[in-house]
């Protein structure tokens, strides 16, 4: 088997992978990922004990046990570009022999749950409630750089959305990737979550239809998102990582699910008065259902 070159899979002098600075023994198979590095401690403070901590750039990892079960929490930082780094490096830790630099014969599947924050795109989804993403709809273009066989993504939803929204030719193809049905069942059984398609944007302002001083290319983008419906699927919320997480996990053979605390309602123009309180509620729910 061909060796993966030193410039392609970069290892630090201690043998850890380049950005997230982890070695294979530092991670659990059940992983919670969050955008905000400040959320790591809010999660790991619930652990029985933390066995390992590392911090490099925006990437922080704590690994420990929760009620006796091994769990890792990893901060990705904001955006699909960071998800590309974190998911490829996590996958390398379990599916590549780092010493020999070859792909392992036996594949390991990770369970990856993103616990994020998000803006609702439906008026009835109130702030301080949670949305579970059945699909990620990517406006970010990340998955266009990978070879994707037909049938992996939900192209019928993409086509219907492009028609409905008057999608512009200069914007990336809005690919749609599904969550893991296994994790949807496992985590969804525990709590009362809204479920829907999550739109993933490559920015917080223009790409999510926010106008401060700059007008946007599709002025009524959020109205188009709110009114889209395809075979009972509606777009529920906006954030910045899920499509990349679902797309890469589908290609690499990992289970992925996003659950987000709704901190803003973009249609009603409301923002939570203290969103971290609800994030704390969600942290306990997710930890308990993940280890169950």
Interacting residue ranges for ligand URA, rule: CB under 6 A:
117-119, 204, 208, 238-240, 263-264
Asked if 60 is part of the footprint of ligand R1P (rule: CB under 6 A), the reply reads: no
Q: In the bound complex, what is the minimum distance in angstroms from residue 287's beta carbon to ligand URA?
A: 21
Q: Using N-to-C axis directions, what is the helix angle for 275-291 and 181-188, rounded to 10°?
A: 110
Write down the least CB distance from residue 91 to ligand URA, Å: 25
Angle at 193 between CA 189 and CA 198, to 5 degrees: 120
Closest CB to ligand URA among residues 117, 236: 117
Residue 116 interacting with ligand R1P (CB under 6 A):
yes
Q: How far is CA 283 from CA 20, 126, 145, 280, in A?
A: 22, 19, 33, 5
Task: Give the number of other Cβ atoms within 10 Å of residue 71's Cβ.
Answer: 25
Contact 179, 278 (CB under 8 A): no
The residue nearest ligand URA at its CB is 119
Q: Give the largest Cα separation in the chain, rounded.
A: 56
CB of 208 to ligand R1P, least distance (A): 9
Residues 61 and 27 sit within 8 Å (Cβ to Cβ)? yes
Tokens of 44: 């790991």
Instruction: Tell me, residue by residue from 173 to 212, as one string, x for binding to ligand R1P by CB under 6 A and - for no binding.
Output: -------------------------------x--------
Write the binding mask 15 to 54 for ligand R1P: x where contact by CB under 6 A, - elsewhere.
-------------------xxx------------------
CB of 98 vs ligand R1P, minimal distance in Å? 28
Smaller CB separation from ligand R1P, 78 or 126: 78
Q: Which residues of 266-282 are buried (b: 16+ CB within 10 A; e: fewer)?
A: bbeebebeebeebbeeb
Signed CA dihedral, 179, 183, 185, 190: sign only: negative
Which residues ranging from 208 to 247 are in contact with ligand R1P (CB under 6 A)? 239-241
Give ∠ CA 19-171-34 in degrees, rounded to 5.
35
Min dist. Cβ of residue 108 to ligand R1P (A): 25
Give min distance, CB of 210 to ligand R1P, in A.
Answer: 11
138 in contact with ligand R1P (CB under 6 A): no
When the beta carbons of 24 and 37 are compared against ligand R1P, the nearer one is 37
Residues that bind ligand R1P (CB under 6 A): 34-36, 78, 116-117, 204, 239-241
């Amino acid at each position: 088997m061909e060796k993966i070159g030193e410039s392609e899979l970069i290892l630090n002098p201690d043998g850890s992978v380049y950005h997230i600075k982890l070695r294979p023994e530092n991670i659990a198979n059940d992983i919670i990922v969050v955008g905000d590095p400040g959320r790591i401690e809010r999660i790991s403070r619930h652990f029985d004990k933390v066995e390992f901590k590392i911090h490099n750039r925006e990437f922080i990892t704590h690994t420990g046990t929760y009620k006796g079960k091994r769990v890792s929490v990893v901060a990705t930082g904001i955006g699909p570009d960071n998800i590309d780094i974190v998911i490829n490096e996590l996958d390398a830790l379990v599916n590549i022999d780092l010493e020999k630099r070859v792909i392992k014969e036996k594949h390991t599947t990770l369970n990856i749950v993103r616990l994020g924050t998000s803006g609702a795109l439906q008026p009835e989804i109130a702030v301080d409630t949670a949305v579970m993403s059945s699909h990620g709809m990517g406006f970010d273009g990340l998955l266009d750089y990978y070879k994707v066989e037909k049938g992996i993504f939900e192209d019928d939803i993409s086509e219907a959305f492009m028609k409905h929204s008057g999608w512009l030719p200069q914007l990336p193809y809005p690919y749609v990737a599904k969550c893991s049905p296994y994790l949807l069942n496992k985590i969804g059984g525990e709590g009362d979550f809204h479920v829907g398609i999550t739109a993933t944007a490559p920015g917080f302002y223009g790409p999510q239809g926010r106008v401060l001083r700059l007008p946007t290319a599709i002025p009524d983008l959020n109205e188009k998102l709110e009114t889209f419906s395809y075979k009972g699927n509606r777009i529920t919320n906006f954030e910045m990582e899920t499509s990349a997480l679902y797309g890469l996990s589908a290609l690499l053979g990992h289970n992925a699910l996003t659950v987000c605390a709704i901190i803003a309602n973009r249609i009603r123009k409301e923002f939570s008065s203290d969103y971290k309180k609800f994030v704390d509620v969600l942290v306990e729910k997710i930890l308990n259902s993940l280890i169950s």
